[in-house]
Amino acid sequence: MTEAVYRSEPRAQGGDYRPAVILQVLPELDAGGVERGTVDIARAIVDGGGKALVASQGGRLERELDRFGAKHINLPLKSKNILTMRKNIDALVKLISDEGVDIIHARSRAPAWSAYFAARKAGIPFVTTFHGTYSGYKNPFKRRYNAIMTMGDQVIAISQHIATHINKYYKVEPDRLNIVPRGTNVDLFNPENVSQERLIALSNLWRLNGEEYVIMLPGRITRWKGHGFLIRALPAVLEALGHRRVRCLIVGSDQGRTGYRDEVLQVTNKLGLEDVVHIVDHCADMPAAYMLADVVACPSIEPEAFGRIPSEAQAMGRPVVSTAHGGAMETVLPGETGWLVTPNEVEQLSRALVQVLSMTPEKRATLAAKGRQHVIDHYSLEQMAEQTLGVYAKALKRVHRNAA
């Protein structure tokens, strides 16, 4: 269990301490890694005895905050309009005063600019999480806009890959930069906690008969996730396996990207894989989904900042085949918990998939145990929470030291 971060509270008769009030700011609270991490840290703050506030334009995850006692404040923080951003500064300063906020933690660029000036006006620590490489770093204006994520009293990078990027393009002093990998809920993503009823229900929905090999690509249906890369690798996989029945399930929403979804289907049809590749859209029970997969593919053609899919899949004891860049270079142990292949090298990807699907039950069991333990040891939700609360404590100490 996490412990609260304490804020010094001077009194007339000596010092005193109280659990800190932490405000996280982000554009909205719908699906996504930034949103999920925000909720997870809010829960850790509450569990530790602190007070967790989240400001955003809202979304479906608001209800989850309510359930465990965090408070959501609706502000137009998604807006990049300069006048709205200036109004957000005043709204955040008032919120800091009204709620006794001790730390403001920004997780996205537009709200970070408002939060930075609000924190400076209120005299409280400003913490940022650098969630991605962001686009346009070669453009001076965009680079300056992105740089707000490096201006925290403490800066969190979600992987070594991101920390390296920060130091290459922006530079952050070592005592301000903290690597805190995204955490996986190893209780939720635990094969022992998935019932047969859940597996049967999902198998029936996806029309699986238990006799086919299942290759799964979870995640949003967007070009850089590498759907075409995987689909082009499938003919060689089918040939190597003697054309045994194979299903390739694309599990995720296109989020309105219907043009790209149509492209994926066109590639599928061109290769004659209509009976192999199936887009099954959003899945509300990902632990059960992973259990139905023989291999989880993460063929992104651009580096992922961290990549939750390899971590979740390994926690479920499933072998991973991922491209060798970004966060996967840290989360996947080649030959032990999965395979790494060069982006867009179709032959490499085909060979790796065949290797996984040809493993003996004994080899698969060994890999499953190793993968799950790897995530428990290095990428659990509890570790992310403890390390993040540790960053908050550092931020408070830094501001107190500077004020002395």
Please check whether residues 256 and 150 belong to one and the same domain.
no
Please check whether residues 234 and 177 belong to one and the same domain.
no
Please check whether residues 281 and 364 belong to one and the same domain.
yes
pLDDT at 320 over 60: yes
At 230, the amino acid letter reads L
Please check whether residue 1 lies inside any domain of the structure.
no
Please check whether residues 111 and 178 belong to one and the same domain.
yes
Please check whether residues 340 and 263 belong to one and the same domain.
yes
Work out the average pLDDT over 30-40: 89
Please check whether residues 122 and 256 belong to one and the same domain.
no
Please check whether residues 151 and 231 belong to one and the same domain.
no
Rounded-to-10 torsion of CA 381, 387, 393, 396:
-100
How many domains does the structure of the chain reveal? 2
pLDDT of residue 11: 41
The rounded radius of gyration (Å) of the Cα atoms in the chain is 23
Rounded-to-10 torsion of CA 347, 350, 351, 355:
170
Q: How many Å from the N-terminal Cα to the C-terminal Cα in the chain?
A: 33
CA dist 233 and 345 (Å) reads 9
Please check whether residues 353 and 384 belong to one and the same domain.
no
Please check whether residues 171 and 295 belong to one and the same domain.
no
CA dist 258 and 136 (Å) reads 25
CA dist 55 and 26 (Å) reads 7
Please check whether residues 325 and 355 belong to one and the same domain.
yes
Boundaries of domain holding 242: 191-378
CATH number at residue 66: 3.40.50.2000
The predicted-structure confidence for 360-397, as pLDDT tens digits, reads as follows 999 999 999 999 999 999 999 999 999 999 999 999 98
pLDDT at 15 over 60: no
Please check whether residues 140 and 288 belong to one and the same domain.
no
Range name among 132-146, 285-299, 307-321 with the lowest pLDDT average: 132-146
Q: Which is more confident, 34 or 13? A: 34
CA 215 to chain centre: 22
The predicted-structure confidence for 206-252, as pLDDT tens digits, reads as follows 999 888 999 999 998 999 999 999 999 999 999 999 877 999 999 99
Contact 53, 21 (CB under 8 A): yes
At 350, the amino acid letter reads S
At 6, the amino acid letter reads Y
Question: Quick check: helix, strand or coil at residue 126?
Answer: strand
The predicted-structure confidence for 55-66, as pLDDT tens digits, reads as follows 999 998 999 999
CA 302 to chain centre: 16
Work out the average pLDDT over 172-190: 96
pTM beyond 0.85: the answer is: yes
